[in-house]
Amino acid sequence: MKAKDVMVTDVPSISVRTSVADAVRMLKSNFGDESFMNAAPGLIVLNERGGLAGILTPLSIIIALLDGGHCQGSDEAYFASLCDKVKDLPISAVMEHQPISVTQDALVSDVVELFLTHRFQRVPVTDGKKVVGIIYRSRLLFAMTKSLENLEDVP
């Protein structure tokens, strides 16, 4: 089995120039979308030429909000002040750079190793510099356990 057999071609992506505020709105609108199989929200970040530039995850935005520090409050005003500092930043300032990707012909066993080694929730699939798909942990699990679907319950 290869990456192309388990990837999703409907890739949620944004430009490196998108603001943090717009990215959060997009993450929220995609959250729980069945086309992404309820995958953890995250976006593939594309450069000006449409190539893979990075990955934006909820954690990368949380880190930007806290600016490397610790959470010092818990009321709405505190969180609003954090948001004011980052809302207009381009995604390129907060995303995870140099993401690891795989080709469509990568073996699923190699993809599994990436997920295990790096604790990824998603891995982009590329053809040259163009992103053509994405593999989510849940899709990988379902592909690996397909034989369990046909097993009958045995007492």
CA distance 40 to 58: 9
pLDDT of amino acid 66:
92
- Tokens 């880190």 correspond to 63
Question: 92: which 2 tokens?
Answer: 């390129």
Instruction: Say how many residues make up the chain.
Output: 155
Q: Using CA atoms, how far apart are residues 145 and 140, in angstroms rounded to an integer?
A: 9
Q: Which amino acid is at 78?
A: Y
User: pTM of the prediction?
Assistant: 0.82
In this predicted structure, what is the pLDDT of residue 37?
47
Those residues of the chain that have pLDDT short of 70 are: 31-40, 68, 150-155
Q: Within a 10 A sphere around the Cβ of 150, how many other Cβ atoms?
A: 6
Task: Yes or no: say if 131 and 13 are a contact pair by the CB < 8 Å rule.
Answer: yes
d(C-alpha 102, C-alpha 147), whole Å: 25
- C-alpha to C-alpha distance for 143 and 134, rounded to whole angstroms: 14
Residues near 132 by beta carbon (within 8 Å), at least 6 away in sequence: 7, 9, 11, 104, 125, 126
CATH number of 3-146: 3.10.580.10
Look at residue 29 in the predicted model and tell me its pLDDT.
81
